[in-house]
Amino acid sequence: MTIEMLGRMRGEVDPDDMGRLARCCTHARLPQTPAAAGYRYYDLGGAAPSFYLRRFRLGTRTAAVSLIAPVELSSGLDAERGAPALAQVVLSVGARPIPWHEVCEPDLFPGDSALLARAALQAVLELDLLTDEECPLCCD
Ligand SMILES: [Zn+2]
């Protein structure tokens, strides 16, 4: 984590960003180059959807952003690894997924790291978040 990142995360969430989170349907476009954005791809096989995971770690504590069940933009089918796709965004603190309406200010439990939660939120804000109206997965 860079000093610049820490500086950005110390402040309150920008009101514009709060608005983006509130309007978002929980889907986002995958980053063009997920690996360069810090995401690793997981396909566990079976019925479990594939997902991308960006993890933040401080000692034994973690927070993460998952991009779950990517759907290919062109075909609407399950996306191949690295294909342009939409996915559901889930922020988790430790092993606990945070409900979307709380991602700005997650209820932290003893042992959770507020800094990691904020780092994960920053990663969510770096995504191209979709609204209900523009999201093809939600509007039909
Ligand atoms: Zn959506």
* pTM beyond 0.85, yes or no: yes
State residue 2's pLDDT score: 62
Residue 6: Cβ within 10 Å count: 12
Assess if residue 140 is contained within a domain: no
Which DSSP string do the residues of 111-134 spell out, in sequence order? T--HHHHHHHHHHHHTSEEEETTT
Q: Compute, in angstroms, the gap from residue 97 CA to the centroid of ligand 1.
A: 18
Q: Tell whether 136 is covered by a domain.
A: no
Going residue by residue through the chain, which has 140 residues, state the pLDDT in tens, using 9 for 90 and above.
Answer: 565 666 666 667 889 999 999 999 999 999 999 999 999 999 998 989 999 999 999 999 999 999 999 999 888 899 888 899 999 999 999 999 999 999 988 989 998 999 999 999 999 999 999 998 999 999 76
Q: Residues, the chain, total?
A: 140
In a domain, 99, yes or no: yes
Residue 139 is assigned to a structural domain of this protein: no
For ligand 1, the distance from its centroid to the CA atom of residue 25, given in whole angstroms, is 4
Total structural domains in the chain?
Answer: 1
122 closest CA partner among 50, 37, 23: 37
CA of 78 to the centre of ligand 1 (A): 15
Dihedral of CA atoms 93, 97, 102, 104 in degrees, nearest 10, equals 40
Q: Does 48 reside within a domain?
A: yes
Q: How many CA atoms lie within 13 A of 4 on its CB side?
A: 0
pLDDT reported for residue 108: 92
Is 126 domain-assigned? yes
Give the range of the structural domain holding residue 55, as residue numbers without chain letter: 3-131
Residue 132 CA, ligand 1 centroid: distance in Å? 6
Contacts of residue 54, Cβ cutoff 8 Å, sequence gap at least 6: 37, 38, 39, 40, 64, 65, 66, 120, 123
| 88 found inside a domain | yes
Residues 6+ apart with CB under 8 A from 132: 23, 25, 138, 139
Q: Residue holding tokens 């989170």?
A: 21
Q: Would you say residue 76 lies in a domain?
A: yes
